[in-house]
Structure 1
Amino acid sequence: MYPIEHNNSFIARTRTVFEELNFRVKPLKRLFALSNVRNRKANTVVLNWYEDQPYRKGLGGAKRLLFVIGFFISILSLRLFSNNIQWVRHNFKPHNTAGKPLLFRFTLRLLSAVTDQVVTLEATDKFDSSVVKHPLYKNEGQLYQYIAALGSGARNIEYLYFGSIKPYKRLDALLNVWPQPLPLKIMGFCSDKSYTQQLHEIVAARRLSVDWVNEFVEDAALEEAVATSRFVIMAHDDDAMISSGTFYMALSLGANILCFDSAFARLKSKEFSFVKIISPENLQMQLAAIDYVDSHIVISKALEKYNEQAIRESWQAILST
């Protein structure tokens, strides 16, 4: 499995699913042992975000060239060691570079040729894929305990925007239309200095009521913030991501979700009444007209559709092919 660990809880939750399906989960680097050439029919490979590898930060010059060469060798050699290669594609475009450069397009074609199938976490009409369900942020036992503990607990953050801050998530577009008197809490780090400056300039020029400290947020602090928020806002570019960890964390912790229009937003607004599509025009009037759905209802509906059995069954169908 690649990666075997990640700061995104998706990997830990998915690894648990594989173990429940009686797979022994090992890091990808363990695959490239000579003994696995003989055992290739017994080996299944699951790749996540693999197409983003050439765009790792901190690589430059000869070091980057050698890394990219090694990366392509790893793709071409996968078939020697495994008879079942599943590529989970999370995004339409790389997130550490602009557009779809030639290298990225070549990588997509190569992975498509080498792997058995493309797997996505949502249905898409951009390419053929098999769909598995995205796991929730916590396991069922934890979520049921959370529902029981909700009671009349206050949700004192009205509007929250969270996650790593990158241009494709369009925080700038949100700030450009955000109603001046409404409070907006932002939690997340922006490593792009130019984009950070742009965001601060918008806030200052429009005199917005925005609370943002540009720093990494510990998991516990972020979880507490989401769990005490009424509405989480997503302003992602359309055709940037196939699925969203931000969405599933908000869903798991009972927040209502407001999205700028995108294929993902349209899909989720059909699934859940508490997912609303908002437009930049007359935003304040739209926000005032939205009915809030209680958090215990949000979590209950999430568990109906994305319970652990449903997740396992979706993966079982993929891994048994």
Structure 2
Amino acid sequence: MLNIYYYPKANNCNQYANNTIKAISASLECDVQNAPCLKEFVKRPLTYILAKRVDYLIVNWLESELSNKEGKISILGTLKFFVYLVFFKLVADKLIYVRHNMYPHNMHGVSAKIAQHITNIAEKLFCYKKVAHSGHLTHAGYIYIPHPLYDSVDFSEINKGEYFIIFGKIERYKNIESVINEWNNENLLIIAGAVGDCDYLREIMLLAENKNKNVKFEARFIPEEEASRLVGNSKGVILAHAEKDMIASGSFFYALSLGVPIIAKKQPFFEWLVNDEKIKSVYVYEDFTELNNIAYFRIEISADLILKEATELFGEEKVQKCWKEMLK
């Protein structure tokens, strides 16, 4: 039986980690444990130095350490990034690096390029295989494994409302202002989620007020049951993120899990889904005239069809099969 560590530690708030661990455990009939952190190693170094190494250690989001609060390269964070990788090589035979972003969301310009380059080098030096949740990166040596879906809700409670939604943590990188600025729709636009950037929230609220746009804000932590209803009752989820850091979007998979169509800014991930996977649940736009046209006229897909597509492309069986093929 394989012994596998997973980093970072899973918790009840992270469905992605929990569902990934569940898929790996089920596909290989093994126990996936939380990887130790550096603090644990410092407290009991001999425990890990003398212990038998596990077969695999699956690493997620470690590149986030490279960025400081200002979105610049962190020298201390870069050191921590490499120390973690050395430590992981000490405790595991093989590292699997799951690349969620090309570089941290809050980084731009030279800092973003440096962070991307550092992560690329680290993957080559330390990792047995590298994984991405989008097939558009297979040409760069990544193994495609579908992103798991989120837990569904009781659809007997879903009653579609006359609104579209931008859902998730309110952060500057999500480009929400571009949607507000050009929103020209009789349907309400709801922006809902916990606040990650208070200054940015004030800016977009003022923009909506000054432009007299049909926009409502639910800027707060939204409990899971309420979030499911809010997103599930919408006519569609809008994803406006336009930077090149994104590989796949968690908000996309959340919407798909609820049977909700997605209107997304043109990105390699969404183009791959539409062109290669022939997904019908995603409507890609290049400009905001097209966004408004899609919201007005073009969404003609049922929740049942969306859920069928979601299960075929990202369901438990598909995710388990891909992990098993890679780790067998």
Q: What is the rounded CA distance, in whole Å, between the counterparts of 1:160 and 1:297 in structure 2?
A: 20
Match of 1:48 in 2: 60
Match of 1:292 in 2: 300
Q: What is the rounded CA distance, in whole Å, between the counterparts of 2:51 and 2:136 in structure 1?
A: 34
Aligned pairs for 1:232-247 (under 5 A) are: 232-247=237-252
- Per-residue CA deviation, residues 146-183 of structure 1 (Å, 9 max, x unaligned), is 45x36xx4211421110112222211111121115431
Match of 2:232 in 1: 227
Match of 2:320 in 1: 312
Secondary structure in 2 matching 1:124 = helix
Describe the shift of the 1:71–1:264 C-alpha distance in structure 2 as closer, same or farther (beyond 3 A). closer
- Alpha-carbon offset, residue 209 of structure 1: 1.1
Given candidates 2, 14, 23, the residue that maps to 2:20 is: 14
**Percent identity for Structure 1 against Structure 2:** 22
CA contact (8 A) 1:54 1:71 kept: yes
- Per-residue CA deviation, residues 296-320 of structure 1 (Å, 9 max, x unaligned), is 2211221122221111110112222
Match of 2:283 in 1: 276
Q: What is the rounded CA distance, in whole Å, between the counterparts of 2:246 and 2:65 in structure 1?
A: 17
Describe the shift of the 1:221–1:14 C-alpha distance in structure 2 as closer, same or farther (beyond 3 A). same
- Alpha-carbon offset, residue 221 of structure 1: 1.6
Secondary structure in 2 matching 1:85 = strand
- Per-residue CA deviation, residues 49-100 of structure 1 (Å, 9 max, x unaligned), is 0111243769xxxxx7656534422212322221111000001120233341
Q: What is the rounded CA distance, in whole Å, between the counterparts of 1:200 and 1:146 in structure 2?
A: 33
- Alpha-carbon offset, residue 103 of structure 1: 5.0
Unaligned runs of 5+ in 2: 1-5
Decide which moves more: 218-227 or 262-271: 262-271
Are 2:110 and 1:110 aligned?
no
Match of 1:134 in 2: 147
Aligned pairs for 1:1-321 (under 5 A) are: 1-6=6-11, 7-20=13-26, 21-29=28-36, 34=46, 42-55=54-67, 68-99=78-109, 100=112, 102-103=114-115, 105-125=117-137, 127-138=140-151, 143=152, 146=154, 149=156, 153-179=158-184, 181-270=186-275, 271-278=278-285, 279-281=287-289, 283-320=291-328
Q: What is the rounded CA distance, in whole Å, between the counterparts of 2:240 and 2:299 in structure 1?
A: 20
Unaligned runs of 5+ in 1: 59-63
CA contact (8 A) 1:238 1:263 kept: no
Describe the shift of the 1:68–1:283 C-alpha distance in structure 2 as closer, same or farther (beyond 3 A). closer
Decide which moves more: 123-132 or 198-207: 123-132
Decide which moves more: 76-85 or 305-314: 76-85
